[in-house]
Amino acid sequence: MRVGTAVGRSRRRLLVGGAAVVLASAVAAGTPSPPGAEPARAAVAPATATPPAPEAATEPEPAGPAAAAGTTGATAASRARADADASVLDALAPDAPPRTVPYAIGTRIYFAGRVSDLADRFATAFPGTRPGPAQRQFTTVVGAAGFAWAQFTGSGVDVVSVVDRVGPDGAVTPFHASTGRASLLAVTTGGLVAMPESGQVFTTAGRAAGAFTGSVNIDCGSCAPTAAGPRLVIDQWSGTGSQPEHQATWLWYPPVAIQRLDDRFRAVGRLGSGWLGLDLGGGCWRLAPATAPDRLGAPVCSQATPLVSADGARAVVVQGGRVRVVEAATGATVSVASLTPLARWDPLGPHPRYAVPAVWETADAYLVTARVDGTLALVRCSARTGACRRAVRVAVRPGVDRIVTERGPADAVPAG
């Protein structure tokens, strides 16, 4: 679809990173004009320059497990399960918030020890509209090439996606905008930013670097990108109508090399040389390097999309509500996270409960984005020992229904 010039087949094929609620709300809101061509302009200084105390202590806490769970009239057993689950996050010892991995809470981006509040961008990007609370949060935040890349959406004839670049100094630079269906940006390890839907990639400075169709003048239809190392998995649909047709799944090494993939392949590891997962159905996968998609490992089952490490040796999965690290090739357990397993797994229900592997922070540490009813957390775990600590804790409230990272509840398999 179209891209600005400023600087149903699968849960994550057209909707990735936990963006379901925000994108649905954005489409249901008014009908502003899509953002037009915005010439590159100087960075905008952030509203705040220093981070809150560890665990975002300035954020309000929930009233308590019972109030957040909404269990009025529930059985004693269900209330007991709710209280047990709600204590999972609070039972963890606190830890320092991530610095190298960006995340968002509402309109704020937390990155490199600073906070950038982009509240004004939600209004100026869509003039003439007043975004509701559900729209005033990001759909994804990716840390790559020394920046935080943040996407938010509005509605028009199609979904309008706006991407901003946030520097380690907290400065915000409008990057590009595109229109189409509900998909997310992707950033390769080669330093190319793929815009949602358009099939176009740009350098981190905003210069055009290639188009999936070979020309920016040839419409890609709906081309949803996900990154696998320096490559992109492109999920191509016929367009944005009420009955789109799936065209194909491709592995693209921008700007030119393109390989057809089995439609069941998805990107499951952005770091290193990139990693793919062949979706076997029922929450089970076979993992493979993006450099050799036919070199498949043993089946690995997970309640969330596996998160493969940069070296491809390990994958973070969720089994029986418990996060664990397994060998990518064999599925053998390496470590079990000390985060207590959830008695009820319900990533997309009215009272969500999930723990989704979000991103590798270091070679040993990975982050899990979790929600238990009215409590949200980023949890840091060791792949070697399984020890976990709570890095961020905030309360659900209007405009904040998740901590936004590279992955979210849309990467989880619903119960049943």
What's the whole-number mean pLDDT along residues 148-157? 86
What's the whole-number mean pLDDT along residues 297-317? 97
Q: What share of the chain has pLDDT > 90, as a percent?
A: 63
Q: In the prediction, which pLDDT does 240 show?
A: 61
Q: How confident is the model at residue 230 (pLDDT cuts 50, 70, 90)?
A: very high
Residue 3 has pLDDT above 90, yes or no: no
What's the whole-number mean pLDDT along residues 161-182? 92
CA distances (Å), origin 285, targets 342, 374, 390: 22, 31, 29
Of the chain, the end-to-end C-alpha distance in Å amounts to: 35
CA distance 164 to 79: 42
Q: How confident is the model at residue 79 (pLDDT cuts 50, 70, 90)?
A: low
Q: In the prediction, which pLDDT does 218 show?
A: 84
Q: In the prediction, which pLDDT does 47 show?
A: 46
Sign of the Cα pseudo-torsion (94, 97, 102, 105, in order): positive
Comparing 110-119, 126-135, 231-240, 305-314, which segment has the lowest mean pLDDT? 126-135
16 vs 180 pLDDT, higher one:
180
* 8 Å CB contact between 343 and 83: no
CA distance 223 to 216: 13
Residues 6+ apart with CB under 8 A from 197: 1, 3, 161, 178, 179, 180, 181, 183, 220, 222, 223, 224
Running DSSP on this structure, what letter comes out for residue 27?
Answer: H
Architecture of domain 56-93+264-416: Beta Barrel (2.40)
Q: How confident is the model at residue 264 (pLDDT cuts 50, 70, 90)?
A: very high
Task: Please give the structure tokens belonging to residue 303.
Answer: 């309640």
Nearest to 360 by CA among 319, 322, 308: 308
Q: Where in the chain is the domain with CATH 2.40.10.480?
A: 56-93+264-416
Encoded amino acid at 74, one letter: A
Residue 36 has pLDDT above 50, yes or no: no
Question: What pTM was computed for the model?
Answer: 0.83
Q: In the prediction, which pLDDT does 34 show?
A: 35
Residue 7 has pLDDT above 90, yes or no: no
Q: In the prediction, which pLDDT does 204 show?
A: 95
pLDDT digits (tens, 9 = 90+) for 313-365: 999 999 999 999 999 999 999 999 999 998 889 998 888 999 999 999 999 99
Please give, one letter per residue, the 3-state secondary structure of 87-134: HHHHCCCECCCCCCCCEEECCEEEECCEEEECHHHHHHCCCCCCCCHH
Encoded amino acid at 291, one letter: T
Residue 84 has pLDDT above 60, yes or no: no
* 8 Å CB contact between 368 and 337: yes
Q: In the prediction, which pLDDT does 413 show?
A: 84
CA distances (Å), origin 317, targets 19, 80, 95, 141: 20, 26, 22, 21
Q: What share of the chain has pLDDT > 70, as a percent?
A: 78
